Chains A and B, each alone.
Chain A
Amino acid sequence: MSLVSYRDAVRSALRDEMLRDQRVILMGEDITGYGGSYAVTKGLVEEFGPKRVMETPIAEAGIVGFAVGAAMGGLIPVAELMTVNFALLALDQIVNSAAKCHYMFGGQWSVPLVVRTVSGFGQLGPTHSQTFEGWFASVPGLKVVMPATPADARGLLLAAIRDPDPVIFIEHSLLYSTKGELPEGEAADEEVPIGSAKVVRAGTDVTLVAYSRMLLQALQAAEELERSDGVSCEVVDLRTLRPVDYPTVVESVRRTHQLVLCGEDWRTGGFGASLLSELSDRCFDDLDAPIQRVASPDVPMAYSRQLERSLIPTSDEVVEVVRRLN
């Protein structure tokens, strides 16, 4: 098996679904000449032409609104928003249109569309380094996925495009160059089901729940804790934020009795806050200590490189939180 980058894994899912289903179209800013701001769609306009790989004007609300209409018109649009920060300009279309079509018209039809967007940071400043998955995950009518590995990026994108409902698919700018194996042969066409978490490292003492970039940080922390402290961490990759696969997490906590939730978003109102409330209900009798969170402090992201480093949650912080528990 060869190693494939996260970026290429996303592209392979887009390409294969476009080959398989004529209704799938891509749209977004700079997605042809540039292949998108993170070069994910590079080469696709050459293969599928500008009607199916549409470069749009800078108009985020229009892009998502167009996608909603295109889905009504029988297409399966995959809209790219350069980064999740620009999704703010499209929030009304996402929340009031995409997420509501099915509900407000008696379930006659839904809008099968995917909004692909990117979370992350790296000296991009306070308006371009935000983490909003919790907001989307709070909206009934949306499905929200956030893959951490190339294989999951591919498998979940296949599932998202084939899903009959709107799916928010959030990539991470710092994961694009990471590499991993993709399933081959028949398995290559298999979806990773939306709503399924995965135990990626078995352990006995503490459960670490993470997704997207924080999964890599949690795994690194688990190694460090095993080596230095003899603490055995079980690591669960949530993969989908709505709907959450609670049973997988609860089962893990039954074995470890301690739980740490790892996210990049703000502590107040971040996705971890809602996860914590639900899991404290579901795991109360199995827990030996209060559930802990790793999150960003409640300040806008700094543009200064040195300060940005101190604000972004890392494996060191995960290690520290686990040490305080034990």
Chain B
Amino acid sequence: MDGVETILGADPEAMVSQLLELGRDLCLRLFEGMAGLRAFDDRAVILQRQGRIGTYPTFYGEEAVQTASVVALEERDWLFPTYRQTAVVTLRGCPPLVPLLMWRGHPGGWHDVMRYRVAPVCVPVATNLPHAVGAAWGARLRSADWVALGYAGDGATSAGDFHEACNLAAVTGSPVIFLVNNNQWAISTPLRRQTRVQRLAEKAAAYGMPGLRVDAFDVFACHRVLRRAAELARSGGGPTLVEAVGYRLGPHGTADEPALYRSPAADRLWAPMEPLGRAQLGLVSAGLADAGELAEIRGRASARLLAAAEELERSPRVTLEEIADTVHLSTPWDLSPDHLREPSWAAAGE
């Protein structure tokens, strides 16, 4: 692919030498991260089918980009997710039960934002990006050396907030990374109807920041590119737009049926790019791991999710009071449980 940085897609010798350069520890850490995300995604889809959680946007195929985005950054760096990155917080040490509870609408699903430095999920697309810029600017003003990363889809690049965020970041020189996951589809809308620019990284030029393209199914290349962007931001070089070029291997979400709008043949052609299998092939051929130990890593991840799903079953019911109590930090009288239960005239002693 044109100008797309890749390691697993390079010729075999180049691939092996680049993987060796990354080293076994980092390679296995990246694989383990992907295994954790895959296990989460598989389990969440099952739970949705069983009616135990709500409509769920699967991220099957995006494990490489998401894992790299966490591992390439430092723990002090901020992440600003959308509906498709609800499990990245587990790569920061949060138990998978927490995002599962979120998908069930349970207060236990509110992960500790300040501890994990993963912002609350934004569903209206691109609305998280200005937040990432503001947070990054906060780092500048407080002379902190953390950076911020905001996730976006290809479709989100059409939204006004995307443009405003990119421009704000560049003009303020904020240490932020815009990670655009170009999976070629926004629900049923293909990229060519979204924009005439087929290389989304080119959009960066209009804002005066670098734009990089990377193979979205290659966790190792994603790591290298994101690391570079983070270093640039950390050293005062300002924002970068990283376009991860891939394909949405799954449906938009559990309520979607892709056969209605795209060719199953294209799906089949892309299917072998599935990032865990591809990474495994690379690691085994480079002699960095054997298939048995990789299978063990995946087995451990699945077992962990099974246990989380069992715990999910035991979580207590939510009450209206819990919800009302979280609307404000200091709850005003009109959200008191008594007031919510009784219409005003009854409370007034009618």
Q: Mark A273-314, 1 if CB is under 8 A from B, else 0.
A: 000000000000000001011000111101111111011000
Which residue on chain B has the smallest CB distance to residue A61? B160
User: In this assembly, does A49 line the interface, its C-beta being within 8 Å of a C-beta of chain B?
Assistant: no
Task: Please indicate which of the listed interface residues A86, A127, A303, A305 has the most CB atoms of chain B within 10 Å of its own CB.
Answer: A303
Known interface pairs A34-B261, A302-B318. Does A29 touch B323 (Cβ–Cβ under 8 Å)?
no
Interface-side segment among A52-60, A101-109, A246-254: A52-60
Assess the B194–A57 pair: CB atoms within 8 A: yes
Q: Mark A242-261, 1 if CB is under 8 A from B, else 0.
A: 00000000000000000000
Partner of A58, one of B158, B334, B345: B158
Known interface pairs A123-B105, A299-B323, A302-B318. Does A34 touch B187 (Cβ–Cβ under 8 Å)?
yes
User: In this assembly, does A174 line the interface, its C-beta being within 8 Å of a C-beta of chain B?
Assistant: no
- A290 to chain B: which residues have CB within 8 Å? 345, 350
Assess the A310–B320 pair: CB atoms within 8 A: yes
Assess the B105–A33 pair: CB atoms within 8 A: no
Assembled-state Cα–Cα distance A128/B345 (Å): 30
Assess the A298–B335 pair: CB atoms within 8 A: yes
- A57 to chain B: which residues have CB within 8 Å? 155, 158, 189, 193-195
Known interface pairs A58-B155, A59-B160, A302-B323. Does A30 touch B346 (Cβ–Cβ under 8 Å)?
no
Which residue on chain B has the smallest CB distance to residue A268? B334
CB distance from A51 to the nearest CB of B (A): 13
User: In this assembly, does B347 line the interface, its C-beta being within 8 Å of a C-beta of chain A?
Assistant: no
Assess the A86–B55 pair: CB atoms within 8 A: no
User: In this assembly, does B327 line the interface, its C-beta being within 8 Å of a C-beta of chain A?
Assistant: yes
Assess the A58–B125 pair: CB atoms within 8 A: yes
CB distance from A297 to the nearest CB of B (A): 5
Partner of A300, one of B106, B194, B327: B327
User: In this assembly, does A3 line the interface, its C-beta being within 8 Å of a C-beta of chain B?
Assistant: no
- B104 to chain A: which residues have CB within 8 Å? 303-304
User: In this assembly, does A230 line the interface, its C-beta being within 8 Å of a C-beta of chain B?
Assistant: no
- B195 to chain A: which residues have CB within 8 Å? 57
User: In this assembly, does A74 line the interface, its C-beta being within 8 Å of a C-beta of chain B?
Assistant: no
Assess the B124–A86 pair: CB atoms within 8 A: yes
Partner of A127, one of B123, B334, B343, B350: B123
Partner of B340, one of A32, A89, A298, A308: A298
Assess the A305–B54 pair: CB atoms within 8 A: yes
User: In this assembly, does A62 line the interface, its C-beta being within 8 Å of a C-beta of chain B?
Assistant: yes
Q: How many A-B residue pairs have CB under 8 A?
A: 104
User: In this assembly, does B142 line the interface, its C-beta being within 8 Å of a C-beta of chain A?
Assistant: no
- B260 to chain A: which residues have CB within 8 Å? 33-34
Contact residues, A66-94 vs B (CB, 8 A): 85-86, 88-89
- B172 to chain A: which residues have CB within 8 Å? none
User: In this assembly, does A321 line the interface, its C-beta being within 8 Å of a C-beta of chain B?
Assistant: yes
Assess the A33–B156 pair: CB atoms within 8 A: no
User: In this assembly, does A125 line the interface, its C-beta being within 8 Å of a C-beta of chain B?
Assistant: yes
Assess the B194–A58 pair: CB atoms within 8 A: yes
Q: Mark B102-115, 1 if CB is under 8 A from A, else 0.
A: 10111000000000
Interface residue total, chain B, C-beta cutoff 8 A: 40
User: In this assembly, does A227 line the interface, its C-beta being within 8 Å of a C-beta of chain B?
Assistant: no
Assembled-state Cα–Cα distance A192/B18 (Å): 70
User: In this assembly, does B317 line the interface, its C-beta being within 8 Å of a C-beta of chain A?
Assistant: yes
Which residue on chain B has the smallest CB distance to residue A311? B320
- B323 to chain A: which residues have CB within 8 Å? 299-300, 302, 307
CB distance from B330 to the nearest CB of A (A): 16
User: In this assembly, does A20 line the interface, its C-beta being within 8 Å of a C-beta of chain B?
Assistant: no
Q: Mark A21-63, 1 if CB is under 8 A from B, else 0.
A: 0000000011011100100000000000000000101111110
CB distance from A61 to the nearest CB of B (A): 5
Assess the B160–A89 pair: CB atoms within 8 A: yes
Known interface pairs A59-B159, A59-B160, A298-B340. Does A303 touch B187 (Cβ–Cβ under 8 Å)?
no
Partner of B105, one of A30, A299, A302: A302
User: In this assembly, does B186 line the interface, its C-beta being within 8 Å of a C-beta of chain A?
Assistant: yes
User: In this assembly, does B280 line the interface, its C-beta being within 8 Å of a C-beta of chain A?
Assistant: no
Assembled-state Cα–Cα distance A101/B53 (Å): 46
Partner of B188, one of A34, A300, A306, A311: A34
Assess the B156–A30 pair: CB atoms within 8 A: no
Assess the B335–A89 pair: CB atoms within 8 A: no
Q: What are the nearest 5 A-B pairs in CB distance?
A: A304-B105, A303-B105, A57-B158, A33-B261, A33-B188
Sampled A-B contacts (30; CB under 8 Å): A29-B186, A29-B189, A30-B186, A30-B187, A33-B261, A33-B262, A34-B260, A37-B187, A57-B155, A57-B158, A58-B125, A58-B126, A58-B155, A89-B124, A89-B159, A123-B105, A127-B123, A290-B345, A297-B340, A299-B320, A299-B323, A299-B327, A300-B327, A304-B106, A305-B105, A306-B317, A307-B323, A310-B320, A321-B343, A324-B346
Given A57-B195, A305-B105, 18 new contacts (CB under 8 A) = A29-B186, A33-B260, A55-B189, A58-B189, A59-B159, A62-B160, A85-B124, A86-B124, A123-B55, A123-B105, A125-B54, A127-B123, A290-B345, A298-B340, A299-B320, A299-B323, A303-B104, A306-B317
